[in-house]
Amino acid sequence: MTGTHDSPDHADQHAHDHHHARWPEGFWSQPPRLGAGLEGHEAVDDYNKDRKPGPIHVNRRYEGGYSGIQTFAKLPVCLTPEDLAAGEIDVAVCGVPWDSTTSGRSGTNHGPMVIRSADHQAGYGRPQLSLDTGVDAFEVLNCCDYGDAPISVGNTPVTFEGIRKFVGTIVEAGAIPLILGGDHAITWPCATAVADHWGYGKVGIVHFDAHADTGADAPQSLASHATPMRKLIESGAVPGSNFVQVGLRGYWPDPETLDWMKEQRMRTHFMAEIERFGFDHVLQRAVDEALDQADHLYLSLDIDVADPAYAPGTGTPEPGGLTSNEILRAVRRLSSEVGIVGMDIVEVSPPFDDKSEITCLLANRAAREALTGTAMRRLGITGPDHPAPAAPSTEG
């Protein structure tokens, strides 16, 4: 492990005046270690103790679509860091079914389960070529479903410590965590785990959202889905200058919070800028800015950055957002042209989705585009104007 965070005092070095941003001492007392976050999981210990480490294929080749066991894209399962290492896993999809820190409509704890099952065309072992790129991510990358992080309902400190350790095991095993939330508060422990490994101040975040999520602490509350970006900044894990935000709109944050964001040197692209200059112009700026202050990129996608016409199933919808196509292109470009070391997709609330599950399907496809973009980067396809080999030729 190459992380630089090894004591409670580390956060103080970056945030002398922000003790309220720190988690309980138990959270910072030890760095993540291989196997951390899995203690007490008797199903792993008792039923698999004699199993040879490696990915577990739980679906038959004919079990596609609605049939079979609903792992993400019918991927094999890994239960331990040793499975990840033995399988030489490049990307581990995992869930964080948590919504106890939401302030709006609840239900995001159902997100991971339904995002996994939204893809009715998946079938592991079958060709899954991206028609936009001609790339089959599963032919290029070793991927797995790593299950869900441990959740202690109603106990934020214990849960967030477990999330950080859980995600940390993925990063430490050499894989990219692709995290399905869950409300946006989970970005705090998830991105912290990534920074633990790559180094505080070394990770940048491109954050797609209708809201800035830079709110100050609420009284008697450790965290909320309105505070994760401020928490990351005040803890020193991700400096404000390493943030690029895209899609903000509506009637929050207030002027005081906006001033704080400017003081932290956050880069913010509001929907007004997108309306004036076009999405492609703003996306290019985000691509250019992603690593100008950092060495590694973490991508955080709040599904409410989409217009509610495309994503009604979310806790705090805000009209006037991005289209599905814009979101998918953005995720693919950042993953291929910049490269990611982690990603979360959050604020998907299935109880408020429409009957066609368009929000969950958009989230599923965003995850697929992250995989496609990562595979493209592995193949050296990193330009914005890459060809689409799967498409019919239009040349005379």
Residue 388 within any structural domain of the chain: no
Report pTM: 0.88
Q: What does the pLDDT read at residue 347? A: 95
Tell me how many domains the chain contains.
1
pLDDT in tens, 161-210: 999 999 999 999 999 999 999 999 999 999 999 999 999 999 999 999 99
- Output the domain CATH number for residue 48: 3.40.800.10
Give which of 141, 126, 120, 136 is closest to 61, Cα–Cα. 126
By the 8 A CB rule, do 376 and 133 touch? yes
Whether 4 is in a domain gets the answer no
Q: Is the predicted pLDDT of residue 20 greater than 50, yes or no?
A: no
pLDDT at position 383 = 76
| Mean pLDDT of the residues in the chain | 86
| DSSP structure string for 42-84 | HHHHHHSTTSPSS-B--S-TT--TTSS---GGGPPB--SHHHH
Q: What is the predicted pLDDT for the residue at 66?
A: 75
Least confident residue range of 37-46, 74-83, 331-340: 37-46
Is residue 396 included in any domain, yes or no? no
pLDDT tens readout for residues 253-304: 999 999 999 999 999 999 999 999 999 999 999 999 999 999 999 999 999 9
Residue 102 binned pLDDT confidence (cut-offs 50, 70, 90): confident
Question: Is residue 391 situated within a structural domain?
Answer: no
Asked whether residue 387 is assigned to any structural domain, the reply reads no
Enclosing domain of residue 323:
9-379
Q: Which helix (H) or strand (E) holds 346?
A: strand 342-346
Per-residue pLDDT tens over the stretch 311-368? 999 999 999 999 999 999 999 999 999 999 999 999 999 999 999 999 999 999 999 9
The pLDDT assigned to 8 comes to 38
